[in-house]
Amino acid sequence: MRDIVFTRESGWIPHVIREDGELKLTLGAGADANHAPRTFTFSIGEAHLAVIREDLARHMLLWSAVLPLCDDAGTRGPLDENAAVALLDPILLSAPADVDALFHRIRWDRGRLIAHGADIDLLERGQVCAAMRAATETSNGKRAQEYHANRRRAERGTVLAPLDAAILKYTGQYLHGATVPRRMPDAADPALLPEVMRVIATAEQACAGMRIGRDPRRGKRATDKRDWDRMATTVDAAVRRAHPELVDDAVRTVSFLMCSEAADRSRSTPMEDDEEAGGDSADFGGSARKTILSFTDDKGVEQKWLSDSPRTATAEFWEFVGDRSAADNEVFTIEDEEMGEGIQLHFYADSIARITTVRESEGGSDPEYRVEYSLVDGIGGYRNLVSTFVRGGCAALEQHGPWMPDVAEFERARRRRDAQ
């Protein structure tokens, strides 16, 4: 038989039950292997119940001290009830000075107390009883998040000025630096918003005209890391030059915002427009001599492109790559059977091979091919080579060499590049 004896407004604050005639404190903490919340209980006495009823601060301090024991229990272990019971008298029945001294020696959940209104300055000075005079039963989780965020920054030696904080709040990265930034003007201090917007304007001017292209090698929505790094470096330099007082966190969040917005624009742009913006697809339709192309991947999947297709050959090829590329599928080929030539892209090695037919198959003999290799500089290099092949075939690729027919020579060149 279990009866609730005492509970507070917040359902998370431990409450007191009577189970088979025995008083116990029960609380929810942590989760089991199936992510369901765990519940822990341990015995208390009538004197402890009396303090819990009358003194919110002592009740909350006990909760804060028991939570690390619940963490120790993990997903399936038992609560160390002896350790929990050993906390009762020192926290609930001792003088404030003794409680403060105890909290210097034990582990406790500082964030839980801060969420419930504890005075942060007093907590930092070790005056936990005095800090809890401001405690409330209602919780403000954001207050604890802000505290932990500032603590992590302080551990890195970063102290935010008001403008730094306003910029981080504007981008939504004040609490979590890993959050994708976005524009949130209502979150910034209204008095500082005009200055925040001046910083943003500096960044926008610095990267005007720059773009972040897509990188189908890494998936349909992936973007070019080199483009990202180039834009981030440009924005960082401009913002630091114009606003030298800003800390690194504030500068980085502004460049992150500019880059993530540029990447989103690229992802929402049709592939043809994406290529035209990069200058790689000029006049594919009229001047391209390719009429039928075959795309294949390393898994044997094939797709045909015809000249009367509503989309360009390069757009369809890169769409094919974006759909099919994977860690175990990094070799893609474009073949023009009519002309007897093609190119093979080796994404795993940043290289390409151009393949031309030297002699057709005759009288049952195998055809003879010339295979030449070249190194490729990132996705931009691949895009340029693919569009050049589509426009003019293997002959047009000559200017994009050097092309090495000897495999050993090519491997030496690749190792030299990778060693740099």
Predicted local confidence at residue 34, as pLDDT: 85
Helix (H, G, I), strand (E, B) or coil at 369: strand
pTM, two decimals, is 0.75
- Whether the predicted pLDDT of 357 surpasses 70: yes
- Whether the predicted pLDDT of 166 surpasses 60: yes
Query: Residue 272 — very low, low, confident or very high, per pLDDT cuts 50/70/90?
Result: low
Q: Does 79 or 364 have the greater pLDDT score?
A: 79
- Which residue intervals of 125-192 are DSSP H helices? 128-131, 141-155, 162-171
Q: For residue 91, what are its two tokens?
A: 């926290």
Predicted local confidence at residue 344, as pLDDT: 97
For the residues 204-220, what does the mean pLDDT come to?
A: 93
For the residues 314-318, what does the mean pLDDT come to?
A: 94
Query: Residue 35 — very low, low, confident or very high, per pLDDT cuts 50/70/90?
Result: confident
Query: Residue 286 — very low, low, confident or very high, per pLDDT cuts 50/70/90?
Result: very low
Predicted local confidence at residue 182, as pLDDT: 95
Q: At what angle do helices 271-278 and 313-324 cross, to 10 degrees?
A: 110
Element (H, E) at 199: helix 193-206
Which range among 101-115, 235-249, 252-266, 360-374 shows the weakest confidence by mean pLDDT? 360-374
Predicted local confidence at residue 282, as pLDDT: 40
Which residues, including other chains, have CB under 8 Å from residue 13's CB and lie 6 or more apart? Answer: 7, 27, 59, 60, 63, 137
- Whether the predicted pLDDT of 278 surpasses 90: no
For the residues 150-172, what does the mean pLDDT come to?
A: 94
Which range among 108-117, 230-239, 266-275, 298-307 shows the weakest confidence by mean pLDDT? 266-275
Q: Tell me whether the omega of the peptide bond preceding residue 402 falls within 30 degrees of 0, making it cis.
A: yes
pLDDT in tens, 73-107: 998 899 999 999 999 999 999 999 999 999 999 99
Whole-number Å distance between alpha carbons of 115 and 143: 6
Whole-number Å distance between alpha carbons of 82 and 61: 18
Which of 10-24, 192-206, 279-293 holds the top average pLDDT?
Answer: 192-206
- CA proximity to 373, closest of 347, 354, 398, 348: 354
Predicted local confidence at residue 366, as pLDDT: 76
Query: Residue 281 — very low, low, confident or very high, per pLDDT cuts 50/70/90?
Result: very low
Predicted local confidence at residue 367, as pLDDT: 79
For the residues 266-282, what does the mean pLDDT come to?
A: 59
* CA dihedral of residues 134, 135, 140, 141 (deg, nearest 10): 120
Mean pLDDT of the chain: 91
- Whether the predicted pLDDT of 296 surpasses 70: yes
For the residues 226-232, what does the mean pLDDT come to?
A: 96
- Whether the predicted pLDDT of 130 surpasses 70: yes
- Residue 37 Cα distances to 76, 109, 195, 280, angstroms: 11, 18, 45, 55
pLDDT in tens, 62-80: 999 999 999 999 988 999 9
- Whether the predicted pLDDT of 285 surpasses 60: no
Sheet order of strands, 302-306 included: 302-306, 292-296, 331-336, 341-346, 351-359, 368-375
Helix (H, G, I), strand (E, B) or coil at 370: strand
- Whether the predicted pLDDT of 200 surpasses 60: yes
Query: Residue 287 — very low, low, confident or very high, per pLDDT cuts 50/70/90?
Result: very low
Whole-number Å distance between alpha carbons of 410 and 404: 6
Q: For residue 46, what are its two tokens?
A: 């009538």
For the residues 323-345, what does the mean pLDDT come to?
A: 94
Predicted local confidence at residue 360, as pLDDT: 77
